[in-house]
Amino acid sequence: MSDTGGHAPNWYPDPMGRHEYRWFDGTTWTDQVSSHGKQSTDPVTGGSPVPVRDVGAEQVARDLQRAGVAPGAVQGGGSLFTEPILVVNQKAKIIELSNEYAISDQHGNQIGAVRQVGQTTAKKVLRALTSVDQFMTHKLQVVDAQGQVLLQLTRPAKVMKSKIIVQDSLGNEIGQIAQENVIGKIHFGLIVGGQRIGSINGENWVAWNWNIQDATGGEIARITKTFVGLAKAMFTTADNYVVQIHRPLEEPLRSLVVAAAVSVDTALKQDNRGFN
């Protein structure tokens, strides 16, 4: 469970990973929860603070090889914000009812995860029986290996263009990842306080590979989708990505790049044009 030492009574990201927020009374977590602005109750027990995927070093090595990345060339600091290479693996499912990803370093160690929160049973039923994902709001938490929430991501319901609102662990907005076109190779702007500080640019029509640029147009990161295998691609929704961050980044660009690395799939995969 997330560390709350010294925190005042308030709403904090639900450490159990089921809701957006849970009330902390200054001493312990309570059963008071909130999602999409609606309060309810849910017991503290029974959750898993970190979605664990049995990815393993061999799977990560295969993903890196497919992306043309040599592990070990650049060493990192062991965290989501200090590793130069992130390997993002989606949990393979026949029908996707909840977005869930493991994030590993270049050596196969899981250093974080992405989990979807705040879904009602009715929403899961709709996702199972219909193709209306793009018209729904999706909320994700990015957590470290200990379950601490680092970033909160909201993808509002969309019609044509997608957007990701990026917040810190306390709900303060860091910036937005906003889709800028619907025809041709898709690109997004990295927006902070109304200013465009960078971009994410699709390099092909099927949105498999992306380059991330700063405000000067220099490439600072790259996202490469790796092939999961024909059988898995045909029968599941699994997507795997290798993310290369070329140099240490300052805030807020650093948080937006990490958010982009783990959310570009969510931003587009519910698109009915099939950017999967």
- φ/ψ (deg, to 5) at 63: -60, -45
For residue 275, tell me if it sits in a domain: no
Q: What is the pLDDT of residues 52-89, one digit of tens each?
A: 566 778 888 888 888 888 888 888 999 999 999 999 98
Residue with tokens 């600072």, as numbered in its chain: 220
> Which residues are CB-contacts of 271 (< 8 A; sequence separation ≥ 6)?
134, 162
- Cross-strand pairs, 117: 139
Residues 66 and 136 placed together within one structural domain of the fold = yes
Residues 44 and 93 placed together within one structural domain of the fold = no
> Which residues are CB-contacts of 153 (< 8 A; sequence separation ≥ 6)?
139, 140, 141, 142, 164, 165, 166, 167, 259, 262, 263, 266
For residue 250, tell me if it sits in a domain: yes
| d(C-alpha 61, C-alpha 257), whole Å | 23
For residue 32, tell me if it sits in a domain: yes
Residues 145 and 241 placed together within one structural domain of the fold = yes
Residues 38 and 124 placed together within one structural domain of the fold = no
Residues 82 and 2 placed together within one structural domain of the fold = no
Q: What is the pLDDT of residues 174-233, one digit of tens each?
A: 999 999 998 888 899 999 999 999 999 998 876 678 999 999 999 999 999 886 544 343
More confident residue, 25 or 100: 25
> Whole domain around residue 182: which residue ranges?
56-269
Q: What percent of the chain has pLDDT over 90?
A: 35
In the structure, what pLDDT confidence band is assigned to residue 234 with cuts at 50, 70 and 90? very low
Tell me the average pLDDT of the chain: 80
Residues 109 and 225 placed together within one structural domain of the fold = yes
* Res. 272: pLDDT tops 50: no
Of 29, 48, 67, the last residue of a domain is 48
What pLDDT does 268 receive? 62
Lowest-confidence pick of 115-119, 152-156, 204-208, 254-258? 204-208
For residue 74, tell me if it sits in a domain: yes
For residue 173, tell me if it sits in a domain: yes
For residue 152, tell me if it sits in a domain: yes
Q: Is the backbone of residue 133 left (phi > 0), alpha (psi -120 to 50) or beta? A: alpha
Residues 184 and 265 placed together within one structural domain of the fold = yes
| d(C-alpha 248, C-alpha 93), whole Å | 34
Count: domains in the chain: 2
Residues 199 and 66 placed together within one structural domain of the fold = yes
Residue 118: CB atoms within 10 Å: 22
For residue 276, tell me if it sits in a domain: no
Residues 42 and 155 placed together within one structural domain of the fold = no
* Res. 39: pLDDT tops 50: yes
CB 66 within 8 A of CB 226: yes
